[in-house]
Chains A and B, each alone.
Chain A
Amino acid sequence: MNRAMHHIGPPLVALALLLGTWELLVRALAVPAFLLPPPSAIAQATADNASMLANGLVQTGFTAVIGFLLSALIGNLTAWLLGTFRILERAFYPYTLFLQTVPIVTVAPLLVLWFGSGTKAVAVAAFIVSVFPVITGTLSGMRAVDPNLRDLFRLYGAGRLAVLAKLEIPAALPQTVTGLRVASGLAVIGTIVGEFVAGFADGKPGLGIIVLTAYRQLKTDLLFAAVLGSSVLGLGLFASVQLLGHHLLRRWHPSARN
């Protein structure tokens, strides 16, 4: 109990101070609510729109998780292929940079053309935004394998597949986890941005749609509530990946051993 308070006490006090100051200043200076609503109004808007926000959270969360899983799967498969065949890496790696640099807002209309508005296009947007760190993470981990260990596997007659499965993939795991951690945050961002452009279908508005609608109606308190929802979502996904990584590395890697 005491130890828990030691950890969560200070940030809780800081939060209370911040919210209190915010509330007081907004009231004292009579700031218009459409510019900056006080925390009490945001709390009220959250309560009033609880079911819409909850549905938005589920919709956006679902899409972000799909995008993230696509990134994890396709990103790692790509890295394994590029890492195994040098010629593929030389041929294709420069183009994976495209995924890193292309502004998703410019691609999103294309996605709508190809996949139609809705979850599918948004998930692909989340995937495009989040796959690059997975590829580079795993690939750089594979590259960093100790040459002596490669020699050892060669000495014991290991084939390419055995080297991949028993040496490169496990050795790269710490970097893979780092890549996935970055990807989890990006997947949520990609989903929200994707929803701005392609999220208007299927009658299940995600948090991105709620943000847009609230903005157009100058319901700034609701806007704040949706923003809060998306950061909770990003945190949740990040924490899940963190937990998974910790579980995978706990037995052997210094990063997970404290």
Chain B
Amino acid sequence: MPGAISLRFERVDRRFDDGLVAIEGLDLTIDAGSFTVLLGPSGCGKSTLLRLAAGLDEPQSGRVVLAEDGVDRSPKGGPTGFVFQEAQLLPWRTLEANVALPLELAGDTTAAELHARVDEALRRVGLAGAATRMPHELSGGMKMRASLARALVRAPRLFLLDEPFGALDELTRLRLDDELRALAKDLRITVLFVTHSIQEAAYLADRVIVFSPRPARIVGDYASPFADVRHADQRFSEPFAAFVGTLHDALVRGGA
């Protein structure tokens, strides 16, 4: 199994044509194999940061680097999985055909291997029985699981998630939070997870980075008070409440 991947932002600036400054002078290193949550008010430039990490966008100055086994590379074409706020499934494809899409586009797998990997990805997210269903037949939670499976199918080593569970009901969201973290740890995937929910950040992260409103500045950088393994009870514990308070204060201090 290849080692996990790390990510560095070096003095990154990103301004848009309309003069909007999304990110200014950002220096940030994301450790290999860590689960990092980016917490900040809506529209603060967190999504831009993810797009830069995915190689979907480029900075005006500075650079974004993926380090793979100690070797630097550009984010473009990296071993990256991306999950959007909406599931973004192709409505004309069955679940398995949706999950197969990245392999199909890469074009480097045999039909048998493709099948095996799609089945494995669907099983990982608990959708093994729904392979031939169409997206419109599924609940929001199932669609999001399918979206996760699609991001997993090419064995990514960097996982970028842009408020993925924001539109789901509370219980589904909590369950998916747990599953996502277990999955990432099990597969040793480096995760960058964007949210504006303090509770979600406090529960999911190894490390929470708090951002100010636009342009995104880092106003706080915190390690989780919990050990590697998470369980639902932690959400009702004293240290959890304290951590939530800390994050809340940082957000407020940042001007959110």
Contact = CB atoms under 8 A, between A and B. Distances in A.
B171 interface: no
A102 B82 CA distance: 49
Interface of B: 51, 54-56, 77, 80, 82, 84, 86, 88, 90-92, 101-102, 104-106, 134-136, 154
Given A156-B154, A157-B77, A252-B136, 8 more contacts: A148-B84, A151-B54, A155-B82, A157-B106, A166-B101, A166-B104, A171-B90, A251-B92
B130 to A, nearest CB: 15
A107 interface: no
Contacts of B54: 151, 155
A10 B80 CA distance: 61
A251 B134 contact: yes
Interface residues of A, number: 22
Contacts of B77: 157
Given A156-B106, A251-B134, A146 B88 contact: yes
A52 interface: no
A22 interface: no
B91 A157 contact: no
B52 to A, nearest CB: 13
A170 interface: yes
Contacts of A153: 105
B67 to A, nearest CB: 19
A94 B135 CA distance: 38
A166 B93 CA distance: 10
Contact of A252 (B82, B91, B102): B91
B240 to A, nearest CB: 33
Interface in A136-177: 146, 148-149, 151-158, 162, 166-167, 170-171, 173
